Amino acid sequence: MGQGLSCKVVQDEHGLFTAVQYGHLDIVNNLLLKDPSLIHQTTVYDRHSALHIAAANAQIEIVCLLLKNGSVNPDCLNRHKQTPLMLAAMHGKIACVEKLIEAKANILMFDSLNGRTCLHYAAYYGHSDCLEAILSAARTSHVAASWGFSRFVNIRDGKGATPLHLASRQRRSQCVHMLLDNGALVSASTGGYGFSGSTPLHLAARGGSIDCIRELLAWGADRLHRDASGRIPYLVALKHKNEACAALLNPSSAAPLVWPSPLKFISELNQDAKALLEQALMEANRAREKTILKGAGYSLQSPSHSDTGTVDDNTSEASETELCYICFDQVCTIEVQDCGHQMCAQCTLALCCHNKPDPTTASVTAPVCPFCRSNIARLVVAKVKVNDFDNDLDLYPSCKLPKLRKARNFSEGSSSFKGISGVSSFGKMVGRGSGKVSVDSECIDKS
Ligand SMILES: [Zn+2]
Ligand SMILES: [Zn+2]
């Protein structure tokens, strides 16, 4: 795959390709003025055009020159039916990707090596900026109209791999995140419909990236899915000696929190609110991972706030700001609409999140406001009451206040690892403090 685009090994009698590779605009210009037919010349073996070489080497001025008067087809093909756009995406040359897309390069071309598109290339090589550019082109171009955007996001290569499979295999967690966010199917199988194959989680287990595994699990990837050889991702991780990944993938380890289906693509979820929730979810899962990875199955680690020293129960500062009425631990950052009730991001998630449901009993119910039981129509970032705080109070990176703590933790009572599964991840996220929240508990209704 990774063909170098150096011209040294290539016959280049006019010096055109070398000039293109190194970005000598004047030379390229002069050569083309002298002999306009040169523009259609290709390298001998790989049959790269000048546009391929310019795009792969980020020679944006030359890309512009070649595309200028429509003299070069933006979708010209080399020996492997790769377009200049594929090469730019492969090498992460974002300016060239954008320029080619602007010149109407087709994002729906397949190479002859593995039947991959430019989206596969961006995902495989982990260039999330290029991935984003291609996705946004897909939203607006004819592709969306003729193919459908989500079909494009889940486009398969010759072996049935979607871009999400490739990004997971190659440890590209940022691309994994972006693809999931754009509707990539977390449970896609390389086997295609009705056939067993590998899921992105199998490939992440093989690649050994915990970050990718965390993203996939949070999106609801199934730890029990079997590939064509009947293996679950856990066994794949073991086989490839990715022990830490295996620990998280072990079906008997505590299950991670999963984005609640109603929140996954909810368009009403405003971006800031989503970022807060995402942060809360990932923090909760990281805490869970720590426990698992420490192999602390037999005695839960003492609570993470144990190192904060003694806490003054008379937290006068805290009373200045709205503390969440559910956990009494965090600042209210999320507002439920239309009722206007507020709570912290952690509690919002805990109310909406569930561990991956058992498909046989799954029932997705819309989340309701814990205070008034009305359906949650939208979640927005709560406006902070500004009294003696500065306007741009930096709540978001970590919205912790001094604890109002009458708290106990989970430390006792769960002497076995299995005993904490599920429950602990829920409780943990709700707050290190009270840990008393359950969706239906009376204490919520009282408030
Ligand atoms: Zn709370
Ligand atoms: Zn309400």
pLDDT of residue 384: 62
pLDDT of residue 157: 96
pLDDT of residue 313: 41
Phi, psi for 192 (deg, rounded to 5)? 80, -175
Q: Quick check: 61 pLDDT over 80?
A: yes
Q: Quick check: 158 pLDDT over 50?
A: yes
Rounded to the nearest angstrom, the distance between the alpha carbon of 412 and the centre of ligand 1 is: 22
Q: Quick check: 121 pLDDT over 70?
A: yes
**Structure confidence by residue, pLDDT tens digits, 1-30:** 444 565 444 557 778 999 999 999 999 999
170 versus 268: which is more confidently predicted?
A: 170
Rounded to the nearest angstrom, the distance between the alpha carbon of 343 and the centre of ligand 2 is: 10
Rounded to the nearest angstrom, the distance between the alpha carbon of 375 and the centre of ligand 2 is: 8
What value does the mean pLDDT of the chain take?
A: 77
347: closest CA among 439, 254, 420, 446? 439
Using only C-alpha atoms, what is the Rg of the chain?
Answer: 26
pLDDT of residue 162: 97
DSSP 8-state class, residue 429:
H
Rounded to the nearest angstrom, the distance between the alpha carbon of 352 and the centre of ligand 1 is: 13
Q: Quick check: 250 pLDDT over 80?
A: yes
Rounded to the nearest angstrom, the distance between the alpha carbon of 310 and the centre of ligand 1 is: 21
Rounded to the nearest angstrom, the distance between the alpha carbon of 309 and the centre of ligand 1 is: 22
pLDDT of residue 262: 63
**Structure confidence by residue, pLDDT tens digits, 185-213:** 999 999 866 778 999 999 999 999 999 99
pLDDT of residue 143: 81
Q: Quick check: 224 pLDDT over 90?
A: yes
pLDDT of residue 259: 79
- What is the pLDDT averaged over residues 316-342? 77
Helix (H, G, I), strand (E, B) or coil at 256: coil
b vs e for 195-229, b when ≥16 Cβ sit within 10 Å of the residue's Cβ? eebbbbbbbbbbbbbbebbbbbbbbbbbbebbbee
- Ligand whose nearest atom lies closest to the CA of 377: 2
Confidence of residue 257 (pLDDT cuts 50, 70, 90): confident
Instruction: Give the span between the Cα atoms of 244 and 237, in whole angstroms.
Output: 9
Q: Mark residue 96 as left, alpha or beta (left: phi above 0; alpha: psi -120 to 50; beta: remaining).
A: alpha
- What is the pLDDT averaged over residues 131-157? 91
pLDDT of residue 290: 87
pLDDT of residue 9: 43
Helix then strand then coil, % of the chain, to nearest 5: 45, 5, 55
pLDDT > 90 in the chain, percent = 45
- Ligand whose nearest atom lies closest to the CA of 404: 1
407 versus 83: which is more confidently predicted?
A: 83
Rounded to the nearest angstrom, the distance between the alpha carbon of 267 and the centre of ligand 1 is: 24
- Ligand whose nearest atom lies closest to the CA of 343: 1
Q: Which CATH class is domain 1-113?
A: mainly alpha
Rounded to the nearest angstrom, the distance between the alpha carbon of 430 and the centre of ligand 1 is: 6
Rounded to the nearest angstrom, the distance between the alpha carbon of 437 and the centre of ligand 1 is: 9
Rounded to the nearest angstrom, the distance between the alpha carbon of 70 and the centre of ligand 1 is: 59
b vs e for 15-49, b when ≥16 Cβ sit within 10 Å of the residue's Cβ? ebbbbbbeebeebbeebbeeeeeebebbbeebbbb
- Ligand whose nearest atom lies closest to the CA of 280: 1
Please state the domain extents for the chain: 1-113, 261-357+365-446
- What is the pLDDT averaged over residues 161-177? 97
Rounded to the nearest angstrom, the distance between the alpha carbon of 333 and the centre of ligand 1 is: 9
pLDDT of residue 395: 40
Rounded to the nearest angstrom, the distance between the alpha carbon of 173 and the centre of ligand 2 is: 36
- What is the pLDDT averaged over residues 410-427? 33
What sign does the dihedral 359-361-364-369 (CA atoms) show?
negative
Confidence of residue 69 (pLDDT cuts 50, 70, 90): confident
**Structure confidence by residue, pLDDT tens digits, 74-89:** 999 999 999 999 999 9
Lowest mean pLDDT among 213-227, 235-249, 406-420: 406-420
Residues with Cβ–ion distance below 5 A, ligand 1: 324, 326-327, 330, 344, 347
194 versus 285: which is more confidently predicted?
A: 285
Lowest mean pLDDT among 64-78, 113-127, 287-301: 287-301
Rounded to the nearest angstrom, the distance between the alpha carbon of 101 and the centre of ligand 2 is: 46
